Amino acid sequence: MKSIKFLALGAAAALSFSSAAFAQHEGHGQMTAEQHKQMMAGDGAASEKVTHATGVVKAVDAAKGTITIAHDPIAAKKWPAMTMTFKLNKGGLGKVRAGQRVKFCFEGEGSYTVTKMTRI
């Protein structure tokens, strides 16, 4: 009888841990640079001064000076493909519009700024 209680207790614990893990992952595809910094804190990921990447522009907010890009995986940062909002340096917008595929360079830790961008 004890073994049935332990089996039921173990199954309940496993189920609660798996739902907590799912809840933590939910919404991971769209995050701000600050949220990404918090996620990556303590992982030991080496950071370069300038990081190169490619992706698709999802939104441009000239008033806020930001651009949202669905970027491909970035090996230098050990980041998977995801959608992030970056700050733009002055003059960084050019003629870039939502839906365009771009190559871009960015700098920073926690708060990332696109320093160069070209359409591809």
Rounded-to-5 percentages of helix, strand, coil across the chain: 30, 35, 35
Residue 91 · residue 104 · CB < 8 Å: no
DSSP secondary structure of 20-50 = HHHHHHTTTTEEEHHHHHHHHTTS-----SE
Domains parsed from the chain with CATH numbers: 30-119 (2.40.50.320)
Q: What is the pLDDT along the chain (120 residues), one digit of tens a residue?
A: 566 655 455 555 554 555 544 444 454 567 666 666 666 554 444 444 899 999 999 999 989 999 999 999 999 999 999 999 999 987 666 788 999 999 999 999 889 999 999 999
